[in-house]
Amino acid sequence: MANPFTYGNPISDPARFFGRHREVEQIFSRLRNVEFESSSLVGERRIGKTSLLNYVAHPDIRSAHGLDPDKYLFVYVDLQILDKDTTPTRLWKRLLRQMARCCYDTEVKQALEKLRHVQAIDNFALADLFDSVDEKDQYIVFLLDEFENVTENENFDPAFFYGLRSLAIHHNLALITSSLHELIELCHSAEIRSSPFFNIFANINIRLLTEAEAQDLVSSPLNGTGVSFTEGEDNTIFHIAGYHPYFLQAACSFLFDAYAMNLGPDERLTFLHKAFLGEATPHLAHYWKNSYEHEKIVLTVLTLLERQGRTNGPSFSVKQLQDLYAHSEQTLARLEKRGLVVSKAGTFRLFNTSFGEWIWNEITATGQDQQDYEEWLKSDKNAMERLKGFPGAAKKTLGGILPKIKPEHREMILKWFSEPIFFAIAGKLMYFALTGKIWE
């Protein structure tokens, strides 16, 4: 029996696509309205943006949402192929080629083929082309995956974005882009950042799945396989993967493989944990690396609280977090948008336990000694200056904490603990977590 769970490539079969009902309806609602409006999908790596683009582009899905596939042409382009030498003309030739492949009208197809062989393509020529598209009552939707590769490319100047905006406003053209961050944050110049181009989009944040969607993703693919995960195994999957579609698919795939190998219950869980850790680690590292310092501090706060078991449940209130770091509330909103934390009834937690374990292993050092710490102090003048602001007792406590923190993260810890009120609480938590001793 083939494994029904996949995690390497984006989902292409609509039958294997789970959740995202609100996002899908928002995309099609904007396409169905009289203005034929554009959308920008924003979400973290591996959250499922490309799978969502594939899903809405499928002819059956378009028909189900009121768009005739023969009339509404969806053109997908993966913009990861762009390099620093790619020009607007080169991109347009790629788009025109893909349009020609989708187009069934002979006259429009001929116009597309003619224009894409022109040496330089200007905005007037494109406007004339889309006049022909409009006259044939055809509607074009560009699905532009990884669009930050355009906004960050210096070859794409304001004229390109003004021209593309004009086509989208005055013709039967809509854009659906995907990017890691909101497009306006990814521009290579202030001039482009201030362009009205970005006003044509509605931002749609692609977050974690809901609990019901996650349960459906785990259970439905098993139908007809003869395999059924136990309740305890389901709980383990949600524990280590959370409601993240990629991590769920990976965890379920490994567990299914364990069943295929006829492993016993304990062996299955051992296999799952080991395989999942190997797959998840580079992605968790990417999330951390691409976080701002204040986001890393809040993620560390949540990690500490989870390790200390500060509440009867796995989630923590904003008040608890603000007691440890003042900027927690505003930072949590961004982390939730990114899908790195989960909120429920005003409380927050990391999106899965694997992330907390990874963070702790990332910031703490093994095999460090006092000599290493002393050498770091001598080499880091900023650290020496920060330490001068701490009273004697606090310096002593920091002497029990900082040597056990990796050198690249010590400055972050010092900055965080520079406020005495946070050091008094967070310092105690970290001291105990690192030493197993209570700081008096």
pLDDT tens readout for residues 353-367: 999 999 999 999 877
Distance CA 327, CA 429 (A): 18
Identify which of 5, 47, 45 has the alpha carbon closest to the alpha carbon of residue 244.
Answer: 47
Q: Residue 190: how many CB atoms within 10 A of its CB?
A: 8
Domain boundaries, the chain: 20-205, 211-281, 293-435
Torsion 411-416-422-425 (CA) sign: negative
Q: 3-class DSSP state for residue 251?
A: helix
Residue 319 one-letter amino acid: K
pLDDT of 313 reads 52
Q: What is the pTM of this model?
A: 0.91
pLDDT of 190 reads 87
- CB-based contact 68:34 (threshold 8 Å): no
pLDDT of 101 reads 92
Q: In the numeric block, which tokens belong to residue 122? A: 């200007």
The CATH architecture assigned to 20-205 reads 3-Layer(aba) Sandwich (3.40)
Residues of the chain with pLDDT under 50: 311-312
Q: What is the pLDDT of residues 70-120, one digit of tens each?
A: 999 999 999 999 999 999 999 999 999 999 999 988 999 999 999 999 998
Which strand (E) or helix (H) includes residue 139? strand 139-145
**Residue reference for tokens 């560009």:** 142
